[in-house]
Structure 1
Amino acid sequence: MGLMAGTSVYGISTVLNLKKEESEHFAEMLLAQPVSRIKLMSGYLIIAYAGSAVILLVLGASVGWGWGYSSGDMSLVSKAIVMSLTKIPSVWVIIGITSLLYGWMPRISAVLSWVLLGLFIVTEMLWEAGIVGWSAMELTPFGYAHYSIPVNELSALSLSLLVLLSITFTLVGLAGFKNRNII
């Protein structure tokens, strides 16, 4: 969960950098040029999506290399990389939610994004403590690529649906940003 939560922080921060640019009137200057709103927001989203995938890949390779080196079994490198790559859809859903909130509710998007991530993390902690059941974890994107589920038992359908959900959230967020006033 630490990998997903930490990388989600990166994703949220990256998307919300556009809010900072907008509030400091830098976005206005960019949009006065031949740059569309979609291109402006897409630039931040590409960095958030690609950056989060690269971070998870590098972390997986690093952990795998350390694990493999210390145990003498370098086949663990590929296992750790695959495990970290399965976390990407969950993080992408968080990025998609943030873009949706920013596109439609820019003034409260930061608060809502951080509160949602906090709720997902608290749900994980409550599950770890045995206070809530697995059904509560399934209400979060983290429950579908959880470390307690062996990689070979992860549902490809669930991970694919998470990717589709993140794409949908992102497209809805882009539509909202395209049609609203700059704050």
Structure 2
Amino acid sequence: EEETGRAELLRSTVVGRHAHLAAALSVAALANLVLGLLLALGLGGLGIDGVDAGGSLLYGAAHAAVGLVFAGVAAVTAQLTAHARGATGTALAVIGAAYVLRAAGDSGENGALSWLSPIGWAQRTYVYVGDDWWPLLLCLALAAGCAATGFALSTRRDVGAGIRPQKPGRPVASPALGTPLGLALRLHRGMLAGFGAGLFLMGAMYGSILGQAEDMLKDIDQLQEALERIGGTGIAEAFASMVMVVVAVVAAVYVVMAALRARAEETAGRAEPLLATGLSRGRWAGSHLAVAMGGGTLALLVAGLGFGIAGAASTGDGVLVPRLVGAALAYAPALWVTVGVAAVLFGWLPRASAAAWIVPVYAFVVGYLGQILRFPDWMNNLSPFGHVPRLPAADLDWTPLLVLTLVAAGLVWLGLAGLRRRDLETK
């Protein structure tokens, strides 16, 4: 709202200086409360033994409480930088750090690390077992503290600016910035570096427990059944195949954000002066799509490296490094299809571009949760990620990968054709 100038326009009227942040936090709080209530009602109505109404209500409340914490975190990061993308990236980094701390505490002998994460606090409610409500008080206290800090920091900066001063640029642009691809790389490099580092750490974290996967999961019947359906020569291979879905979905989050960057440039009015030159629409949008596809592939590569190196150290099997790198890269065509979906929406239905988020969300629900909850196969087949061979447990099949690549190419071509035909949103 500040980047577009709408916040300054509204604040020139009889509106308090904290109105925008208060409204944003109110919407976030309401969304989390509704989500928590839906989770409680949904679980409570399943009729499963041991899943009682009180535990279901605590389960929903725990999710809502964690959501409130990170809404408060976003209230702080929004004050630090002048750009929404930087604030979002910083907040996502905090979420990633909280996830890693929780996972490291749960997988290691020292569980104290889990107490450094609000996600770990929510887990300490022991839903359906102990039903402890008190850890949620920690979440609410941290959420209130972060929100108060955000309000305080907002009084120390100007509208449209951030607490952290912007670094002055070079007096003369590099030759690479004179090309569409060079400019796109410059715009995407921060987000790509953040996702790359995060996925490497995520892969390394999962790889570090690969050697203990069988002992960790032996008492969880539903996961054991899901891993048996995946196949492979052992639990470690099946577990790695299941984790690869999560890694691929996180990479898909990046490619959707990167593919929709062209839409953000258009709505902000920065695309119009570029396209007023000799630059064609296809080269301009194609550069963003190329960075999204190449960056997503690179993110999978570093995730596979982290997974493989840590997995080899955990199991003592050095062959895991190339195998897990290959398993991660096998999802690249599915990422390219995700970029293609975003390109079609951007080219033909720009106002519906946000619908591209359905692809990674659906892939996680049916590809990861569906294995545990036994969703029918046809639901998994609706996702491009459902057609990727489940390496390293399964054998490599090139046919679906080639088909996905051709589908991705067709979708990108269709999206660019739509962009050439429609009017550009101007300011």
Please tell me the TM-score bracket, short chain as reference. over 0.9
Match of 1:109 in 2: 353
Shift, 1:131, TM fit: 4.1
Q: 2:318 matched to which residue of 1?
A: 74
Aligned counterpart, 1:40 = 284
Q: CA deviation at 1:151?
A: 4.2
Measured after TM superposition, the shift of residue 71 of structure 1 is 2.0
Given the alignment of the two structures, is residue 164 of structure 1 paired with residue 406 of structure 2, yes or no? yes
Q: How many corresponding residue pairs?
A: 181
TM-score, normalised to structure 2, is: 0.41
1:150 aligns with 2:393: yes
Note the alpha carbon deviations across 1:83-125, whole angstroms, 9 max, x for none.
0111111111111111111111001111x11134323322234
SS of 2:279 mapped into structure 1: coil
What is the TM-score normalised by the length of structure 1?
A: 0.92
| Residue 31 (structure 1) aligns with | 275
CA 76–119 in structure 1, closer or farther in 2 if over 3 Å, else same: closer
Counterpart position of 2:7: none
In structure 2, what residue type is equivalent to 1:157?
T
Query: Which has the greater radius of gyration?
Result: 2
2:101 maps to what in 1? none
Partner Cα distance (1:62, 1:6) in 2: 15
Shift of 1:126: 4.7
Q: Which residue pairs with 2:379 in the alignment?
A: 136
> Is contact 1:83-1:151 (8 Å) kept?
no
2:417 aligned partner, one-letter code: A
**Residue 146 of structure 1: CA displacement?**
5.4
CA distance in 2, matches of 1:125, 1:65: 23
1:127–1:134 contact (8 Å) kept in structure 2 = no
Q: Structure 2 CA distance, aligned partners of 1:113 and 1:80?
A: 28
Partner AA of 2:289 in structure 1 = L
Deviation, structure 1 residue 70: 2.2
Q: Distance in 2 between matches of 1:161 and 1:35?
A: 32
2:400 & 2:392 partners in 1: Cα distance? Answer: 13
* Aligned match of 2:340: 96
In structure 1, the residue matched to 2:366 is 123
Which aligned pairs between 1:3-18 and structure 2 lie closer than 5 A? 3-18=247-262
Runs of at least 5 residues in structure 1 that lack an aligned partner in the other structure? none
Query: Is 2:327–2:391's contact at 8 Å kept on the other side of the alignment?
Result: no
* Map of 1:174 onto structure 2: 416
C-alpha deviation, 1:39, in angstroms? 0.5
Higher relative contact order (CA 8 A, sep 6+): 1
Partner Cα distance (2:382, 2:369) in 1: 13
Q: Report if aligned partners of 2:293, 2:339 keep a CA contact under 8 Å in 1.
A: yes
Deviation, structure 1 residue 149: 7.2
Comparing 132-141 with 122-131, greater Cα deviation is found at 122-131
User: C-alpha root-mean-square deviation of aligned residues, in Å?
Assistant: 1.6
SS of corresponding position for 1:91: helix
The range that moved more, 171-180 or 128-137, is 128-137
> Does 125-134 or 3-12 show the bigger shift?
125-134
